[in-house]
Amino acid sequence: MVPPGALFGVIPTWIGVYLVSTLAFGIAGYFLYQRVFRLVILGKPSNRFDQPVRRILGAMPYIFGQRKVLQRVSIRRDRAGLFHFFIFWGFLSFSFSYFLFIFLDVAWRPLSATVLTDTGVKIFVFYLDVLAVVFLVVLTWAAVRRWGPTPRRLSFDLTQGKEAAIILALIAMLMLFTLLAEAFYVASGGTGPHSAAPIGAALGDALVGAGIGVSLANGLQAFFWWAHLGVILGFAIYIPLSKHMHMIAAPINFVMRNLEARGTLSTPADLETAEVFG
């Protein structure tokens, strides 16, 4: 997505983006500290920073390979792990695009093309556009599976509660706003590698055919671009408050896991003289 012009015609876009992002990530960090790290540091100290290479390499199959969610996959009976794997890698793809096209391009617009080249941006934008549509299909399937006829393991409050609905809605909004921002960018006469998005370009051409004006298209492109950023930042604040905190906690747990053999207990150095245990 191409960053719009100055906010209200006065505030440079990069200033607005970095101000609201700093505020949002600061709030998210505060919630994460209060709900997780503050409690962790109250416990007994344990050296979980030793052997960093072994820790990181050992965690890779679980973080990026999603080994835990794929270990019980069945094409016929249980495909949830495959969809979780797809959503995870789609999330990584869009996260990288946000970092590149929003947080970097807003400071210097040609930066993404400098990093990826124009051809690379076209390919990446094409991929993201198609992925957004596939995401919407998968999210629809996930909603039907949770709130329609469901298997017994998905018929509990944890999977059918409001938190699951909020997450699905936020992801769907991100995908829709991506497509709409691209569509109005094309409708406003935008050119360059970002106009290569197939779905966005088709919607933009349809809007031009419907007679939308350049000024209106510019305004709506800016609206959906900022709305998209707002959803991203809202997502960042909401995650530490929800069960989806595992998106942050799980990778940390895998890296900081106990490297000793399972069941190994540490023996206190002063066991014979200690009067208090635990």
Domain that holds residue 182: 105-254
- 2: which DSSP letter? -
- Is 31 inside any structural domain? no
- Is 92 inside any structural domain? no
Q: Write down the pLDDT at residue 244.
A: 80
pLDDT at residue 253 is higher than 80: yes
Contacts with 247 (C-beta within 8 Å, 6 or more apart), sequence order: 239
pLDDT at residue 45 is higher than 70: yes
- Is 66 inside any structural domain? no
- Is 276 inside any structural domain? no
Q: Write down the pLDDT at residue 75.
A: 63
- Is 154 inside any structural domain? yes
In which region does residue 211 sit, left (phi positive, over 0), alpha (psi from -120 to 50) or beta (all else)?
left
Phi, psi of 78 (to 5 degrees): -145, 95
Q: Write down the pLDDT at residue 268.
A: 64
Residue 275 three-state SS = coil
- Summarised one tens digit per residue, pLDDT across range 149-208 is 665 555 555 555 678 788 888 889 999 999 999 999 999 998 888 888 899 999 999 999
Q: What angle do CA 105, 123, 92 make, to 5 degrees?
A: 65
- Is 146 inside any structural domain? yes
Tell me how far apart the alpha carbons of residues 268 and 33 are, in angstroms, rounded to a whole number.
30
Q: Write down the pLDDT at residue 133.
A: 93
- Summarised one tens digit per residue, pLDDT across range 3-29 is 888 887 788 999 999 999 999 999 999
Q: Total domain count for the chain?
A: 1
- Is 93 inside any structural domain? no
- Summarised one tens digit per residue, pLDDT across range 56-109 is 998 898 888 888 877 776 666 666 677 778 888 888 899 999 999 999 999 887
Residue 43 three-state SS = coil
Confidence band of 126 (pLDDT split at 50, 70, 90): very high
Tell me how far apart the alpha carbons of residues 133 and 175 are, in angstroms, rounded to a whole number.
7
66 within 8 A of 81, measured Cβ to Cβ:
yes
Residue 7 three-state SS = strand
- Is 50 inside any structural domain? no
pLDDT at residue 227 is higher than 90: yes
60 within 8 A of 68, measured Cβ to Cβ:
no
